Amino acid sequence: MTDTDPEPKTAPGPLELVQRFVNSLDYPHGPDELATPESAARWIEAATGDAVEVSPRDIKRLVTARETLRDLLEAHAGEAVDPEVPVRLQKLLSCAPLRPVLTTDGATLVVDCGGVDSLLGRISTAIVWATLEGKWSRLKVCRSDRCRFAYYDHSKNGSGQWCSMRVCGTREKARAYRARRRATELPAG
């Protein structure tokens, strides 16, 4: 695999919100922007411009949606993902109704709710947009178990697997190399 590693790794258009949402936790141990209702409200306002009230129950929903999304994005980096994962995410996002807006040029989907749900609605419309634009499969989660950072794969063939070839790619390759060497050094039988 070649190391193209172009910068920046920021997703285009509305897909950037999905990327920011997944990266609102510095995986695995934080800091987590969605840790408290207050910090989550600040994060949502900074990311979307919407001033919303966030309850402890909302936090649970948001964090579950975020981590389900993180699991789903691993499929784009070549991991085998349980088919239940998109079904779970669909359930979580379906609390936010969308509405078609039609003109003679065509239709767009807009979020038809307020509050915390509007963030989830924006995530749905961003995924639809990215799918239609052929960009969805390029939003990926780094394959390093210790990283799992969401990044946009700008590489020519779209076959990137790590957020950074220099950091995570090299580290994972070194780990695989050590594991292989240990395996061959084990006494036979």
AA identity, residue 173: K
Is 25 a binding residue for Zn ion by CB under 5 A? The answer is no
Beta carbon of residue 144, minimum distance to Zn ion (angstroms, whole number): 5
Binding mask 79-118 for Zn ion (x = CB under 5 A): ----------------------------------------
What's the Cα-to-Cα distance from 153 to each of 7, 12, 73, 124, 173, rounded to whole Å? 9, 11, 12, 20, 19
Is 23 a binding residue for Zn ion by CB under 5 A? The answer is no
3-state DSSP percent of the chain in helix, strand and coil, to 5 = 50, 10, 40
Q: Quick one: tokens of 136?
A: 């969805």
Q: Which of helix, strand or coil describes residue 106?
A: strand
Binding mask 149-188 for Zn ion (x = CB under 5 A): x-------------x----x--------------------
Q: Which residues bind Zn ion (CB under 5 A)?
A: 142, 144, 147, 149, 163, 168
